[in-house]
Amino acid sequence: GQNIDQPTEMTATEGAIVQINCTYQTSGFNGLFWYQQHAGEAPTFLSYNVLDGLEEKGRFSSFLSRSKGYSYLLLKELQMKDSASYLCAVRALRNYGQNFVFGPGTRLSVLP
């Protein structure tokens, strides 16, 4: 079956670095995405990996290892506004065609 795992909750301090891990088991992998979602709002796109390695975008970086079915999102210089849920999603082959599988999300709390 298709499965994505993430930690449920994490806490970090303002100014620190935090790493949110995501492991997946899917068929027909075709890209991994990270989204940020503030409570009651729409998810917004953060990053995309389809090949192994690190993608950097400002304070956010995302890493992918396809052989290990593993990704992480790295947030640097944490700010209070980074308190949100972070969703890991994989585009994979479903029984109704290629589509997205979402993990349960990791709720990050940034403390002063």
Q: Applying CB under 8 A, which residues contact another protein?
A: 4, 8, 31, 33, 35, 40-45, 48, 87, 89, 91, 94, 96-105
Nearer to another protein by Cβ, of 78 and 105: the residue is 105
Angle ∠(90,91,93) on CA atoms, nearest 5? 120
DSSP code for 82 = G
Helix (H, G, I), strand (E, B) or coil at 84: strand
Partners of residue 57 on adjacent β-strands: 60
Q: To the nearest whole angstrom, how small is the minimum distance from the Cβ of residue 78 to another protein?
A: 24
Query: Shortest approach of another protein to residue 57 CB, angstroms?
Result: 13
- Minimum CB distance to another protein smaller for 65 or for 98: 98
Q: How far is the CB of 19 from another protein (least distance, A)?
A: 20
Phi first, then psi, for residue 81 (nearest 5°) are -70, -10
Q: Which of 9, 56 has the CB closer to another protein?
A: 9
Give the three-class secondary structure for 57: strand
Q: How far is the CB of 89 from another protein (least distance, A)?
A: 8
CA distances from 96 to 60, 85, 92, 100 (A): 33, 28, 11, 11
Closer to another protein at the Cβ: 76 or 94? 94
